[in-house]
Copies of this chain bind each other. A is one copy, B any other.
C-alpha cells in the first residue's frame, strides 16, 4: 500500500470490548500440517487474534511442547472457543475453564446443533450467551446468518455477532449475501463472518458487504500451501475493507467507454 493509505489503515481499527485491532482477520489454530506451519501461517496472515480450543490435558504421553509454545501471547490476543459443545451448560463451563487459565476473558461462543454439519444451535447459543454476558465475559458468538437470532444475541449484550458464511470447513464462501446485508442493516455491534471461507475472494466479498472482520481456520490450514494462503487471506481482507470504504461503482447491463470517443 502507498504510505498515506498505510497510515489510514493504521487508524481504521476494530474495537471489540476493551480490545482493539488493526488486522480484521482472525485465524484459528487447528488442523495445520505442523506447529511450525501454523506459527508461520499466523505470522503471514497478519492476524492479531487467534482462536484456540479447550481440551483435557493428556496424562499418559506428556507432550514436551504445547500449542502456546508456538503462539507469542504478547503479539496475539487469545480467543478460546467452546467448540465441541452441544448445549449451553457445556459451553458455559468450557468458557469458565478457559478464563481461569488467566490467558483471556474473551470467548468465542459455539453451541453446535449437530455433529454432522457443525451448524450452530440458535436456542442453546442464546441461552449460553445470556449467561456468559452475565458472568462478565467478552462474548463473540458464532451463529447462523439468521438476522432475527443475530439481533437477539446483540440485545443480550454480546460484543460481536459472528454469522457463518457457510458451514464450517465447507469452503463455500458467503452463501446468502442477502441475510448478511440484513444483519448489517440492523447491527450496532461488529459483525464478523465466521466459517465458510474457502479462498481469498470469499473474504474480500465479506468485507465489501461491510462486515467488520472475518474469522477462518480450515481455508488456511488445509490449503495446499497454508503460509502462502495466509498471506492471500491477509491481502484479501485489506482489499475488501478498502473497497468497502472506497465505495464501488454500480452494476449495469453495460456502460460507458473509459476512453473518450475517437475523433480522427
Which residues of chain A have a CB within 8 Å of any CB of chain B? Answer: 1-2, 4-5, 8, 28, 30-31, 40, 43-44, 53-56, 81, 83-85, 90, 94, 113-114, 116-123, 126, 144-149, 151-152, 166-172, 175-176, 178-179, 181-182, 198-201, 203-205, 208, 217-219, 221-229, 231-236, 238-243, 245-264
Contact = CB atoms under 8 A, between A and B. Distances in A.
A51 to B, nearest CB: 8
Given A201-B208, A257-B83, A264 B228 contact: no
Given A170-B252, A247-B225, A253-B167, A236 B239 contact: yes
Contacts of A175: 175-176, 178-179
14 contacts: A55-B262, A55-B264, A117-B147, A118-B257, A119-B182, A171-B250, A171-B251, A182-B254, A201-B204, A229-B247, A232-B240, A232-B242, A235-B238, A239-B239
B252 A243 contact: no
B235 A239 contact: yes
A84 B261 CA distance: 6
Nearest to A31: B258
B255 A169 contact: yes
Copies per assembly: 4
B258 A28 contact: yes
Nearest to A120: B148
A210 to B, nearest CB: 12
Contacts of A198: 248-249, 251
Contacts of A116: 254
Given A85-B262, A178-B167, A229 B200 contact: no
A148 B240 contact: no
A204 B259 contact: no
Contact of A146 (B8, B28, B122, B200): B122
